[in-house]
């Protein structure tokens, strides 16, 4: 349809823009980026939106540096483009060493978009008594087959219903079976896709929510201007990613002593919110995949270590490339599997490693897969899962018996990696 529209009117920027979105979603990243560039050139008035789309395509192709440059340019082209500004705040989390750059940009976002709403008075009608259950509201566009559900379901299944009443405000556009499963574990389900922030804020106030939880922050389809309206007396950021909203309307964030060490002034200085450290971990995880068996070490069959990272390509930074190249140079005959879409992105990454002295033939690329297929990829191929963050979270891959070293662990063990020899101890499966 979009191609047909462009045949009729090659200068129709809307068709170019929407086609770029569709191409990204079906993993035709090269064509999607070219189409986004074309849309930007066609519409100076909407250049901020189009440039933001081009940036998103670049980010999905593993080119976070170019994506950030494009997001900044999008904000410059259109300072009132909320999407571009929010995308910039989120994308900075992938390259920031201290987190202070993220805080600065997020506060700049809040000052520009939220300040007018923050000045409006708010009167709550919540009943101030301990004789009733606490009402907790969760707001998200991702109550569906999305990684967020892997963390939400364990929480919802274990809420103490004698103490809390659970509301979910769902902006899911297309509900699925995971949506139905989540609905089973809440008291009140409100489908709010298509509702404006103003209308939804009024609904939340009518529901007299005590604690409102933002599960999205600056990720896709977030509602920062909903929280800026302060529809609940206590507002919390949780789960989306370890970062900050920059919003004065959100007073707290849930974390743990591992992400943010107790007593660390550097840790608390990264956030506009007050950090509430849960004692063990800030999240629980369920893979939503059955029959995960511990596998034999793939290196035993292949004769070499295979490192792997099936993270979102936007986490591939220069620091990450440099570390991985050092590991691969020192671990002879080792290989690596990376998640990266078809097209120019794979050629670019291969060339980058070649420049660092690593033969591209040692790499295997895979595209996005169903969750079960990710597990099969780990099971068949990967001896050592390589994260792109210093903090490891227990996940399905660990349940399958794969090692998950941190940056520090990799650096410490590099000296021991030369001359790796495969062997099996009697009865061992790891």
Predicted local confidence at residue 430, as pLDDT:
29
182 and 81 housed in the same domain: no
- 384, pLDDT greater than 70: no
208 and 248 housed in the same domain: yes
Q: Which domain holds residue 19?
A: 2-95
Predicted local confidence at residue 288, as pLDDT:
79
Predicted local confidence at residue 186, as pLDDT:
98
Predicted local confidence at residue 419, as pLDDT:
41
Residue 224's pLDDT band, with cuts at 50, 70 and 90, is very high
268 and 148 housed in the same domain: yes
Neighbours of 20 (CB within 10 A): 27
Q: Does the residue 107 lie in any domain?
A: no
Gyration radius from the chain CA atoms: 23
Q: Does the residue 104 lie in any domain?
A: no
Distance linking the first and last C-alpha atoms of the chain? 52
Predicted local confidence at residue 171, as pLDDT:
98
Predicted local confidence at residue 37, as pLDDT:
58
90 and 203 housed in the same domain: no
Q: Summarize the confidence of residues 37-66 as an average pLDDT.
A: 54
- 90, pLDDT greater than 80: yes
For 139-188, what is each residue's pLDDT tens digit? Answer: 999 999 998 999 999 999 999 999 999 999 999 999 999 999 999 999 99
For 196-218, what is each residue's pLDDT tens digit? Answer: 999 999 999 999 999 999 999 99
- 391, pLDDT greater than 60: no
For 227-256, what is each residue's pLDDT tens digit? Answer: 999 999 999 999 999 999 999 999 999 999
The CA distances from residue 180 to 174, 176, 183, in Å, are: 11, 7, 5
273 and 314 housed in the same domain: no
- 127, pLDDT greater than 60: yes
User: CATH no. for residue 334?
Assistant: 3.40.50.2000
Q: Does the residue 123 lie in any domain?
A: no
The Cα–Cα gap between 300 and 429 comes to 10
Q: pLDDT: is 420 or 328 the higher one?
A: 328
Residue 341's pLDDT band, with cuts at 50, 70 and 90, is confident
Predicted local confidence at residue 89, as pLDDT:
95
Decide if 236 contacts 251 (C-beta within 8 A).
yes
266 and 329 housed in the same domain: no
Predicted local confidence at residue 334, as pLDDT:
93
For 399-430, what is each residue's pLDDT tens digit? Answer: 344 445 544 444 444 444 444 433 333 333 32
Q: Does the residue 109 lie in any domain?
A: no
User: CATH no. for residue 183?
Assistant: 3.40.50.11380
225 and 311 housed in the same domain: no
Residue whose pair of structure tokens reads 């298509």 in the numeric block: 194
The Cα–Cα gap between 152 and 159 comes to 11
- 395, pLDDT greater than 60: no
227 and 354 housed in the same domain: no
The CA-CA-CA angle for residues 236, 238, 240, to 5°, reads 135
The CA distances from residue 76 to 44, 69, 73, 84, 112, in Å, are: 12, 11, 5, 10, 13
408 and 309 housed in the same domain: yes
Q: Does the residue 290 lie in any domain?
A: no
Tokens found for residue 163: 């103490």
Among 57-66, 231-240, 257-266, 385-394, the range scoring the smallest mean pLDDT is 385-394
What's the whole-model pTM score? 0.80
Q: Does the residue 428 lie in any domain?
A: no
The CA distances from residue 111 to 27, 76, 118, 409, in Å, are: 35, 16, 10, 40
Q: Cite the DSSP H helix spans in 190-260.
A: 197-207, 224-228
For 262-318, what is each residue's pLDDT tens digit? Answer: 988 888 999 999 999 999 899 998 887 777 677 788 888 888 899 988 888 888 888
Predicted local confidence at residue 370, as pLDDT:
83
Overall domain count for the chain: 3
- The residue from 64, 95, 126 where one domain ends is 95
- 327, pLDDT greater than 70: yes
Q: Does the residue 179 lie in any domain?
A: yes
151 and 271 housed in the same domain: yes
Decide if 63 contacts 92 (C-beta within 8 A).
no
User: CATH no. for residue 21?
Assistant: 1.25.40.10
7 and 62 housed in the same domain: yes
Q: Does the residue 160 lie in any domain?
A: yes
Mean residue pLDDT of the chain comes to 81
Predicted local confidence at residue 41, as pLDDT:
55
Predicted local confidence at residue 423, as pLDDT:
33
252 and 359 housed in the same domain: no
- 353, pLDDT greater than 70: yes
- The residue from 95, 126, 156 where one domain ends is 95
Predicted local confidence at residue 303, as pLDDT:
86
Predicted local confidence at residue 69, as pLDDT:
84
- The residue from 231, 246, 277 where one domain ends is 277
């Amino acid at each position: 349809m979009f191609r047909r529209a462009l045949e009729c009117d090659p200068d129709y920027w809307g068709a170019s823009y929407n086609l770029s979105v569709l191409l990204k979603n079906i993993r035709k990243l090269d064509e999607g980026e070219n189409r986004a560039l074309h849309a930007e050139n066609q519409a100076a008035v909407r250049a901020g939106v189009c440039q933001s789309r081009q940036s998103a395509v670049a980010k999905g192709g593993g080119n976070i540096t170019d994506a950030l440059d494009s997001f900044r340019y999008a904000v410059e082209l259109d300072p009132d483009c909320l999407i571009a500004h929010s995308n910039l705040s989120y994308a900075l989390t992938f390259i920031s060493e201290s987190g202070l750059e993220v805080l600065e940009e997020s506060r700049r976002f809040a000052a520009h978009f939220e300040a007018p709403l923050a000045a409006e008075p708010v009167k709550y009608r919540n009943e101030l008594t301990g004789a009733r259950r606490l009402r907790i509201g969760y707001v998200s566009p991702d109550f569906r087959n999305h990684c967020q559900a892997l963390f939400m379901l364990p929480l919802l299944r274990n809420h103490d219903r004698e103490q809390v009443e659970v509301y979910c405000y769902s902006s899911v556009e297309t509900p699925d079976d995971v949506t139905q499963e989540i609905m089973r574990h809440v008291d009140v389900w409100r489908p709010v896709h298509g509702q404006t922030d103003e209308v939804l804020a009024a609904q939340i106030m009518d529901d007299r929510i005590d604690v409102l939880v933002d599960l999205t922050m600056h990720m896709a389809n977030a509602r920062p201007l909903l929280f800026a309206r302060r529809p609940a007396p206590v507002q919390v950021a949780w789960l989306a990613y370890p970062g900050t909203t920059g919003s004065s309307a959100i007073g707290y964030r849930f974390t743990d002593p591992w992400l943010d060490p107790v007593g660390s002034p550097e840790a608390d200085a990264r956030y506009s919110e007050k950090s509430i450290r849960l004692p063990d971990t800030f999240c629980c995880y369920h893979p939503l995949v059955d029959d995960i068996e511990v596998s034999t070490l793939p290196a035993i069959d292949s004769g070499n270590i295979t490192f792997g990272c099936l993270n979102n390509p936007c986490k591939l930074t220069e620091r990450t490339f440099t570390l991985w190249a050092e590991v691969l140079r020192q671990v002879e005959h080792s290989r690596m599997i990376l998640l990266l879409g078809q097209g120019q992105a794979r050629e670019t990454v291969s060339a980058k490693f070649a420049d660092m002295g690593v033969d591209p033939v040692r790499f295997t690329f895979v595209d996005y897969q169903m969750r079960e297929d990710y597990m099969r990829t780990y099971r068949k191929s990967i001896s050592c899962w390589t994260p792109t963050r210093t903090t490891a979270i227990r996940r399905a891959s660990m349940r399958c018996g794969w090692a998950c070293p941190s940056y520090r662990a990799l650096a410490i063990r590099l000296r021991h990696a030369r001359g790796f020899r495969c062997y099996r101890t009697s009865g061992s499966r790891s």
